[in-house]
C-alpha cells in the first residue's frame, strides 16, 4: 500500500488530493510542521526533512507534482491524465509542473520572509515582491480560464490538482482577493470537487487520530529552526 507522509495543507496536499480523486488506497502519516524541527526521527526516513514523502514498495518520491504524475500513470487509463497522442498532452505536462515550479516557488519565499523566519530576519518588502511575482504569473491563466472550465484536455486532470494547491496556498497567504475573475471562479469550482473535500477531511481526521495539530502548515508560527536546516 502507498504511504504518504504529510503536514496539514502543505505541498503534500497535492498527492493526497490526487489519491482521493483516483480512489487509490493509502496510509496517511501526519507530521507536525516543520517536521525537521518537531519530529526529528522523520529525518531517518527522509533526510530532506520535507513533505511529501511517498513510499510505494521500493519507490520513494519527494516531489509533489511528480507524485501526482506517478499516481496517474499507476492508475492508467484514467481521465485524470492527458495521454500522449491527445491534443493537450504537452499542455497537461506543462501545467502539471507550472503549479509547483512557477506558482508555488514564489509563494514559499512569501512564507519564508513573512512568516517562517524569526522576527528579526523577516523582510516584508521581499515577501510583497514575491507575492506580486506569484500573482503576475497566475494572471497568465486568466485568458484560458475565461473560456475553459479546466486547464487542459476539456476535463479535470492532475494539472488542476497541481495548480489548485497553489491557489489553496494563496488563500492561506491572503492573496485570493487579488485573483482575476476567471481564476477566482476556477478556484471556487475546484473547491466543490468531492476529491478535494475528501482530502481536507482525511488530513483533519488523520491529524486528530494521530495527535498532530490541525493548524495548517502555512499558518504555523515562526519556525525557530533555520529554513535550510
Residue 15's closest CA among 76, 80, 106? 80
pLDDT confidence bin for 21, thresholds 50/70/90: very high
**Distance separating alpha carbons of residues 74 and 18, to the nearest angstrom:** 12
- What average pLDDT does range 3-20 have in this prediction? 98
Q: How far apart (Å, rounded) are the C-alpha atoms in residues 131 and 100?
A: 15
Mean pLDDT score of the chain = 95
Dump pLDDT digits (tens) for 56-88: 999 999 999 999 999 999 999 999 999 999 999
First to last CA, the chain: 31
Please give the order of strands across the beta sheet that includes 59-61.
26-30, 2-6, 53-56, 59-61
Residue 224 clears pLDDT 70, i.e. is over it: no
pLDDT(225) > 70: no
Instruction: Assign 221 a pLDDT band (cuts: 50, 70, 90).
Output: confident
How high is the pLDDT of residue 222? 58
What is the pTM assigned to this prediction? 0.94
For residue 176, pLDDT beyond 70: yes
- Per-residue confidence (pLDDT) for residue 227, from 0 to 100: 38
pLDDT, residue 220, reads 87
* Strand partners of residue 56: 59
**Mean pLDDT across the stretch 136-147?**
98
d(C-alpha 93, C-alpha 141), whole Å: 15
What's the pLDDT at 117?
85
Buried b (16+ CB within 10 A) or exposed e, 165-177: bbbbbbbbbebee
pLDDT band for 202, please (50, 70, 90 cuts). very high
Amino acid at each position: 500500500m502507498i504511504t504518504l507522509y504529510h503536514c496539514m495543507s502543505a505541498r503534500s496536499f497535492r498527492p493526497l488530493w490526487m489519491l482521493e480523486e483516483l480512489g487509490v488506497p493509502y496510509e496517511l502519516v501526519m507530521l507536525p510542521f516543520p517536521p525537521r524541527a518537531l519530529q526529528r526521527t522523520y529525518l531517518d526516513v527522509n533526510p530532506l526533512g520535507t513533505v511529501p514523502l511517498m513510499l510505494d514498495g521500493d519507490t520513494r518520491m519527494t516531489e509533489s507534482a511528480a507524485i501526482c504524475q506517478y499516481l496517474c500513470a499507476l492508475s492508467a487509463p484514467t481521465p485524470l491524465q492527458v495521454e500522449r497522442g491527445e491534443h493537450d498532452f504537452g499542455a497537461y505536462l506543462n501545467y502539471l509542473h507550472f503549479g509547483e515550479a512557477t506558482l508555488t516557488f514564489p509563494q514559499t519565499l512569501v512564507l519564508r520572509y513573512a512568516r517562517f523566519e524569526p522576527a528579526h530576519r523577516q523582510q516584508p518588502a521581499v515577501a510583497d515582491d514575491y507575492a506580486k511575482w506569484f500573482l503576475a504569473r497566475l494572471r497568465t491563466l486568466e485568458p484560458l480560464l475565461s473560456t475553459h472550465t479546466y486547464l487542459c484536455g476539456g476535463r479535470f486532470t492532475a494539472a488542476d490538482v497541481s495548480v489548485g494547491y497553489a491557489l489553496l496556498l494563496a488563500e492561506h497567504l491572503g492573496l485570493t482577493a487579488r485573483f482575476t475573475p476567471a481564476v477566482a471562479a476556477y478556484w471556487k469550482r475546484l473547491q466543490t470537487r468531492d476529491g478535494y473535500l475528501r482530502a481536507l477531511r482525511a488530513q483533519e481526521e488523520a491529524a486528530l487520530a494521530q495527535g498532530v495539530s490541525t493548524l495548517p502548515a502555512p499558518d504555523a508560527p515562526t519556525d525557530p529552526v533555520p529554513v535550510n536546516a
